[in-house]
Amino acid sequence: MLRSVLAPVHPDGWRFIAAAVLAALLLFWLHWTPLGWLALAVAAWIAYFFRDPWRVTPSRAGLVVSAADGVVVAADRVPPPKELEMGEAPMTRIGVFLNVFDVHMNRVPMAGRVRKLAYSKGKFLNAGLDKASEENERMAVRIASAEGPDVAVVQIAGLIARRIVCTLTEGQEVATGERMGLIRFGSRTDVYLPAEWAPLVVKGQRVIGGETVIADASSHEPQREGRLH
């Protein structure tokens, strides 16, 4: 019962929660009660932001799941990040924008072996913009998938995001849906797949990291179109 209601807090968030709680205690001690309650509210929001809920990941071979919670802002074909050395041929890119209220834990989109990690400094543009994929600070991960072709996932800092956390290492074997890190306070994740793998999601659709299937290596379904109701 509690497992379905309460989500654990990611370890990266505890020091921020502790700082907010200590600030609240200090403010109460100084008899600045309204500010003390405000600091406690901030502590509660930080705990909410760093929540790390359990997820049930579909496990059939060939399935690709979303690397993050959020809204799909790109489902197109573009060249992969140059730093990953995957060539210049267009790949299927599925970009997901995370606002400050989304779960910010990132997850591995497809099982395989980590071939390359590449961190790039950059700007902090609105992560919902397409140019953020190339110009913003980012961590790119190349994965040799179990299905043969390499895939990639890129953690991209956003307008107010100032820290990307990636827990993967080169050579590591990863499972679909496995936790791979987080981005603090608003961000974007892009997943790059072989061009022949059509997206099973559309722009504007809300997805759940580690659960929503965004592509299928064995599917011959054409790219979907979306309709707002």
Catalytic-role residue among 133, 187, 218, 219: 187
Question: Which is it for strands 164-166 and 150-157: parallel, antiparallel or unpaired?
Answer: unpaired
Give buried/exposed letters for 138-159 (b at 16+ CB in 10 A, else e). Answer: bbbbbbebebebbbbbbbbbbb
Q: Contacts from 216-224 at CB under 8 Å and sequence distance 24+?
A: 216/62, 216/63, 216/64, 217/61, 217/62, 217/63, 217/64, 217/145, 217/147, 218/61, 218/62, 219/62, 222/198, 223/75, 223/198, 223/199, 224/198, 224/199, 224/200
Instruction: Reply yes or no on whether 219 is catalytic.
Output: no
Residues belonging to the active site = 187
